[in-house]
Chain A
Amino acid sequence: MRTRFLLAMFTLALAAPAAYADIILPDVNPKYVTIKEQNPERDAGYVVGDILDRTITLTIKKPYELVKESLPIEGFEHRYRGQISGIELVKINTEEHSHSDSVTHVLHLRYQVFTTGKLAKPAALRAEIIKLRNASNKTVLQYRIPSYSFRISPLSVFGSVKLKEEMSPFVRPLRLDASRDRLQLGIAIAILSLALLCLLYIFGMYAWLPKMGAPFAKAYRDIRKIPNTEQGLQNAVARLHSALNQTAGSVLFTSNLDEFLQKKPAFALLKQDIEKFFTLSGQVFFASSPTAHLAENPKAWLQKFCRHLRDCERGLVPHLAAKASH
């Protein structure tokens, strides 16, 4: 007798989880569960074989916890009034994030349509029922994830169809393939950007940075490349004359030097050096001036002088004691 009783109790214990699943439990208080749905983008136009992805984010506050065994099972085919609905859960992935007073479960559900018809018909991703257990008193309650309704379309249309009458406000317009236009637009934008960049470069006097293309900055770069020969010295002096003329807006001579310095006081600091430069120029081109008293090689002096002019051009105070840098 006693053995029979124990056997009956064991059988009941084994049968309990199955019975657990079918039993309709009371709903959990909504304040313990927060749900966030991410449903498929469109709700119509699905045909047999189409995949629908749905992501449910559940945040369950303590003391409740998710009974993981209650999650839907892959391959489960929902029935409605004994009829197979034709929507099958093909994949489920879960993520879990614990917090101090809650746990967030992210359910990635993938359904596939296995039904069709001659006419469009409604369908739904079923409302999943999950179970929550109260950790303190071990009571189990249920939570219903809302269903998602959509429409399944036939693979082909039978008979004549008046599109005007058949158009559904739920179906988004079909889009033309715009990839080619996107590519063309991309190329056009790239060319335009390049052209604007070139324009910027041109308007910036062929320089990327302010004052980089200014006369003395350019002259300094040129003079650095000129060889230290007799011809090179002539070229360097001529190059510097050109930069001075460009800055002055007219040809600069010693006779109009004061006028130039009044107009461009930034260069006043270099008046003596400019006069020395004209003396050097007279020596180089006219062979008449008394020897310019240069303490260093004329080419090196020219380079240093040009750098000082460039500093003035940039609004800096040249360091007159500085040596020419290469």
Chain B
Amino acid sequence: MWNSFGFEFVNFYFIPGLVLGCIYALGAIGITLTFSILRFANFAHGETMMTGAYLTWTVMAVCSGILGISVHPLLAAVPATLLVVLLFLVTDRYFYKPFRKADTIKVVMASFGMMLIIRSAVQVIWGPNQLTFIPGIAKPNPTLMDWSKSVDLLLLIPNKHLFIFAGTIVFVMALSYLLNRTRIGKAMRAVSDSPDLAHVTGIDVNQVIRATWIVGGACAMAAGVFLAMDIQMLETTMGFRMLLPMFAAAILGGIGKPYGAVFGGLVIGLAEELSAYPWLGDGPLLSPGYKTGVAFAIMVVMLIIRPQGLFKGRSF
């Protein structure tokens, strides 16, 4: 039943594509929320992801080195998330707030500046060289491998990928609950709809902005830690490299549409991985070096033929 084609396609292209898609999806949620509520494209989002991963590594290193306890990255990510959210709130209060009524291009340029500030700060604190996030080779989950083998559908999925899938599902469900069931979530959608009307309706727009940074920060944090879990190392440009695919995901889904960002992230992740599959002949259809080019191409095509995205977001 599971011929070599299916085995190779699923285990070496489709599942890695989904993993990458999950990371893009979480990152794109933050980008799309910031764009729809604060009305600017936050170029510093990737660096926030990267900072989150470095902070998580630091918590793990402190626990292991000082306390002698080995902590799972997802546990270490909890205190690191608080720090990242605090970083978001502080930058909003002292950096972005003075730009609140400025032209969008000024805020975008300011976020570009913030991106450079954060990256430089990380390089000063942790150094410019790569760090190992998790050492060793990730082995496939034995239970899943044995079970899938018994039904003749061998799946080689390491635990880190199962955690990424489960974590993404939990995050998206929590986001759905927040936006549809809670007062602050509905207010976030209202401000996204019309900030002026929200203002004269009496909605505390500043509170909504703070909530947006918290949610966006938590999603960026999760995306950063998942990325570090996946590639098992840290480097200061890891967030920046994610920026283009995450923007592509947000645009594909429709700017301002969180579910669109999730869908867009999965599509971009899968498209990048599947573009390297040997669809014609024995060699990869596209060299893996062009993966980011696939995301860029999708973004350009969407902006030309359907700028409002698949989920009818804002158009440019």
A and B: bona fide binding partners: no
